């Protein structure tokens, strides 16, 4: 879950490497480092801590090198120390590697290398790569040495390698961890191109929008003049170039103190963009272009399984409810990290839908590969065009919400919910969803951007509430039916960025155990809009109030009765029951944000977490 970057071209490499690392800081922030080839010598600088520590270490150094590697780390093997930071080198000090992934046969390889006289200095698994490459390197064929080293490794990798013996070359390889090659515009006529290779499009976007996505088992040989991609079979395949349809400003805070707040405030536009060109209101229909080729299979689907992790898993729970309540189509949601170990039986007619913002989530990738082996139709809901899940699924839907930088997902989750409603309409019109009902849902979907703006206008009210409860140690979130997953998501957001203990529960489960916890020190956040279970929610809140629990209610605008129970009320505009989750999650995102801010937490970079989980 680290970020790697390499540059080769005509410009000094260091500014490009550091800019790229800054834009990938959400992938890991335990330590960082760079390696360049300066006057024929390999020079490495690396520091533990945030990227600022590396920046400070480089402040008094000057490099003119036009080739280099950079790495920002989320530690797996070995503590985040200067020594364990990447890049790693071999015994000769001529080879440098940066690695995102995991080596599963580490013990075996370390023992073998040590027996051969190699001195491994770190506690990381990644250092093994440097020594394996050294073992096979003859000083003038780096790509062949990397290929031989990779045959020894079991695991996952996004890898980039340089050697001072071949100072005009970067060798990169991918298996399971994303790698993107950016093709820079020609600096001067007839003087060659520059190239950036990175884990993430965010690191490439300032320099070019023309990219090539490496596939699993690809090896790229990159010089200042050209590049070559070799597949596992040995065939050269440079793959089709793609254009990044993202705006550079999406990777900037634009005056906001944190990316998380910026991304929450973008949600009216996010909802509009997620629906753009996909609604046919006059017919009560939805068009999802990425699913056109599989519409006959969807029409005959007998079961839906959503696979996802973290926040995306909670989106899947809402998808499950939508499929069953609106269509009568059996559905379930599974943690992608467990799916391939459950020995699932997928009968004919099963459709597996993977949900992932990054499209690179390792567990979700493993789940879809398992589902494909079992014969299921596999679809994806992803945000990143060209990502692994987008390529490996048979068909799918893009969110089209731009870069999401904050580790805690907000706008992508809201978009996922919108896409799931669109999918419900699409499948519903193939089944028993009437035209009038579909038109009603579409009409209300079109009103959502304005209704979200109304919620965001309560930002100051929510911040005041957050300040009152920021120093509590525990918070419970409750909801019923389709809003129960929102209770889970609200609790997760709070845990992720404020480090408070929070739990999400079905409201009806309170008296089956959790009610024992409630006293005057416990805030209870209740998602209680005026829907089909409103009266049931009021009964649950009576139970909380009777035990002096401090209720923060998420309620429908105009609901005065709930004020008699709740200490604080945040109002939502009235909408359809199935659309309340899209509105209800927004005040919970803001509540988590402002509590974390009040507690002085690093909101965009919460400890122990990274944005894209690319190792299992």
Confidence tier at 612 by pLDDT (50, 70, 90): low
- Using CA atoms, how far residue 294 sits from 86, 289, 290, 298, in Å, is 44, 10, 9, 6
* Res 456 pLDDT > 60: yes
Is pLDDT larger for residue 1 or for residue 300?
300
Confidence at residue 270, expressed as pLDDT on a 0 to 100 scale: 96
Q: Residue 387's pLDDT is what?
A: 85
pLDDT in tens, 54-66: 999 999 888 999 9
Q: What is the pLDDT of residue 237?
A: 81
The structural domains of the chain, ordered by start, are 3-244 (3.60.20.10), 249-449 (3.40.50.10490), 458-616 (3.40.50.10490)
pLDDT band at 615 (very low <50, low <70, confident <90, very high): low
Q: What is the pLDDT of residues 162-221, one digit of tens each?
A: 999 999 999 999 998 889 999 998 655 444 479 999 998 889 988 998 999 998 899 999
Cα separation of 616 and 426, whole Å? 34
CB 32 within 8 A of CB 70: yes
Hey, CA dihedral for 99, 102, 104, 108, is it positive or negative? Answer: positive
What is the pLDDT, as a whole number, of residue 591? 98
% of the chain exceeding 70 in pLDDT: 97
Our CA dihedral for 494, 497, 498, 502, rounded to 10 degrees, sits at 30
Contact 177, 156 (CB under 8 A): yes
Question: Residues 573, 577, 579, CA angle at the centre, nearest 5°?
Answer: 70
Per-residue pLDDT tens digits for 568-611:
999 999 999 999 999 999 999 999 999 999 999 999 888 877 66
> Rounded to an integer, what distance in angstroms lies between the CA atom of residue 103 and that of residue 99?
10
- The residue-averaged pLDDT of 411-440 equals 97
Residue 190: what pLDDT?
Answer: 45
Q: Cα–Cα distance between 13 and 69 in angstroms, integer?
A: 8
pLDDT digits (tens, 9 = 90+) for 122-167: 989 999 999 999 999 998 899 999 999 999 999 889 999 999 999 9
Q: What pLDDT sits at residue 616?
A: 58
Q: What is the mean pLDDT of residues 452-476?
A: 96
Q: Who wins on pLDDT, 200 or 118?
A: 118
Q: What's the mean pLDDT in 71-79?
A: 83
What's residue 491's pLDDT? Answer: 97
- Report the candidate in 238, 251, 582, 300 with the shortest Cα–Cα distance to residue 416: 582
Q: What does the block give as tokens for 580?
A: 């309340």
What mean pLDDT do residues 209-236 have? 89
- Catalytically active residues are 2, 611
Q: For residues 258-264, give the mean pLDDT.
A: 95
What confidence tens digit (pLDDT) does each residue in 275-288 have?
999 999 999 999 99
> What is d(CA 43, CA 94) in angstroms, rounded to the nearest whole number?
9
């Amino acid at each position: 879950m680290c970020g790697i970057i390499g540059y080769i071209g005509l410009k000094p490499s260091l500014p490009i490497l550091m800019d790229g690392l800054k834009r990938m800081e959400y992938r890991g922030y335990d330590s960082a480092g760079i390696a360049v080839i300066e006057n024929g010598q390999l020079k490495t600088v690396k520091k533990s801590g945030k990227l600022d520590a590396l920046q400070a270490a480089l402040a008094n150094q000057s490099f003119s090198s036009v080739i280099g590697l950079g790495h920002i780390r989320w530690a797996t093997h070995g503590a985040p120390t200067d020594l364990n930071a990447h890049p790693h080198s071999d015994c000769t000090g001529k080879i440098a590697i940066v690695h995102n992934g995991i080596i599963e046969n580490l013990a075996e390889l370390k023992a073998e290398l040590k027996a051969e006289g190699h001195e491994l200095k770190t506690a990381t698994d990644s250092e093994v790569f440097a020594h394996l490459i050294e073992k096979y390197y003859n000083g003038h064929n780096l790509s062949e040495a990397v290929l031989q080293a990779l045959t020894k490794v079991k695991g996952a990798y996004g890898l980039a390698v340089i050697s001072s013996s071949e100072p005009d070359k970067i060798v990169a390889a991918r298996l399971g961890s994303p790698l993107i090659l950016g093709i820079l515009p020609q600096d001067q006529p007839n003087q060659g191109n520059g190239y950036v290779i990175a884990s993430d499009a965010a690191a490439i976007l300032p320099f070019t929008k023309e990219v090539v996505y490496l596939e699993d088992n690809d090896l790229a040989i990159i010089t200042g003049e050209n590049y070559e991609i070799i597949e596992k079979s040995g065939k050269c395949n440079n793959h089709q170039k793609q254009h990044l349809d993202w705006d550079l400003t999406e990777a900037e805070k634009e005056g906001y103190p944190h990316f998380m707040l910026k991304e929450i405030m973008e949600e009216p536009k996010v909802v509009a963009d997620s629906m753009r060109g996909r609604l046919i209101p006059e017919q009560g229909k939805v068009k999802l272009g990425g699913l056109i080729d599989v519409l006959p299979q969807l029409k005959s689907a007998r079961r839906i399984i959503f696979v996802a992790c973290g926040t995306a898993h909670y989106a899947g729970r809402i998808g499950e409810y939508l499929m069953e309540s609106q269509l009568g189509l059996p559905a379930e949601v599974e943690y992608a990290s467990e799916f391939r170990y459950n020995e699932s039986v997928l009968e004919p007619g099963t459709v597996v839908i993977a949900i992932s913002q990054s499209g690179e989530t390792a567990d979700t990738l493993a789940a879809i590969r398992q589902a494909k082996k079992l014969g299921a139709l596999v679809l994806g809901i992803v945000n990143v065009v060209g990502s692994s899940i987008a390529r490996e699924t048979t068909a799918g839907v893009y969110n089209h919400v731009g870069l999401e930088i904050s580790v805690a997902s907000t706008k992508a989750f809201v978009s996922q919910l919108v896409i799931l409603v669109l999918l419900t309409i699409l499948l519903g019109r193939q089944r028993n969803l009437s035209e009038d009902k579909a038109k009603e849902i579409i009409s209300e979907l079109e009103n959502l951007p304005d209704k979200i703006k109304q919620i965001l206008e309560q930002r100051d009210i929510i911040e005041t509430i957050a300040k009152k409860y920021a120093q509590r140690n525990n918070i419970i979130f409750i909801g019923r039916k389709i809003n129960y997953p929102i209770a889970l998501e609200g609790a997760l957001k709070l845990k992720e960025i404020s480090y408070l203990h929070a739990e999400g529960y079905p409201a009806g489960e309170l008296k089956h155990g959790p009610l024992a916890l409630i006293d005057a020190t416990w805030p209870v956040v209740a998602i209680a809009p005026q829907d089909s279970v409103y009266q049931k929610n009021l009964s649950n809140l009576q139970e909380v109030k009777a035990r002096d629990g401090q209720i923060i209610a998420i309620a429908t605008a105009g609901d005065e009765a709930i004020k008699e129970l709740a200490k604080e009320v945040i109002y939502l505009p009235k909408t359809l029951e199935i659309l309340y989750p899209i509105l209800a999650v927004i005040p919970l995102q803001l509540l988590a944000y402002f509590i974390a801010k009040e507690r002085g937490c690093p909101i965009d970079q919460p400890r122990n977490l990274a944005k894209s989980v690319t190792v299992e």
